[in-house]
């Protein structure tokens, strides 16, 4: 008895929160976690619509999203560790070599 709209709104709010986190926080790890938050909100959308349209394909999308998110986290964290090793900082503002 839950309208689809509720799930979608929750998903939108989670996404926005995650977005704000990416923009506001300076700690690279927390930024990363915010990104995971965004990914999850999209997963929720997929699952909700899969149920609404009675198609299993939505859940397959979530499946692959989770797999790729896993890989992404692994590689991303490895990079963060690598950057930490050379700069002793995880402040995203310190990585500004692209400054023109």
Subset of residues 2 to 31 that bind other proteins, contact rule: CB under 8 A: 2-10, 12-27, 29-30
42 interacts with other proteins by CB under 8 A: no
What is the torsion angle, in degrees rounded to the nearest 10, for the CA atoms of residue 66, residue 70, residue 71 and residue 73?
130
Subset of residues 69 to 98 that bind other proteins, contact rule: CB under 8 A: 69-75, 77-82, 84-85, 89-98
Q: Compute the least distance from the CB of residue 73 to other proteins, in Å.
A: 5
Q: Compute the least distance from the CB of residue 95 to other proteins, in Å.
A: 7
Count interface residues toward other proteins (CB under 8 A): 79
3 state SS for 75-93: HHHHHHHHHHHHHCCCEHH
Instruction: Please identify which residue in the block is written with the tokens 């929750």.
Output: 10
Distance CA 96, CA 100 (A): 9
């Amino acid at each position: 008895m839950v309208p689809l709209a509720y799930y979608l709104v929750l998903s939108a709010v989670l996404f926005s929160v995650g977005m704000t986190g990416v923009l506001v926080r300076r700690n690279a790890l927390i930024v990363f976690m915010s990104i995971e938050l965004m990914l999850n909100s999209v997963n929720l959308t997929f699952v909700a619509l899969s149920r609404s349209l009675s198609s299993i394909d939505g859940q397959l999308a979530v499946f692959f999203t989770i797999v790729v998110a896993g890989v992404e986290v692994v590689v991303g964290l490895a990079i963060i560790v690598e950057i930490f090793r050379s700069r002793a900082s995880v402040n995203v503002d310190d990585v500004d070599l692209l400054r023109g």
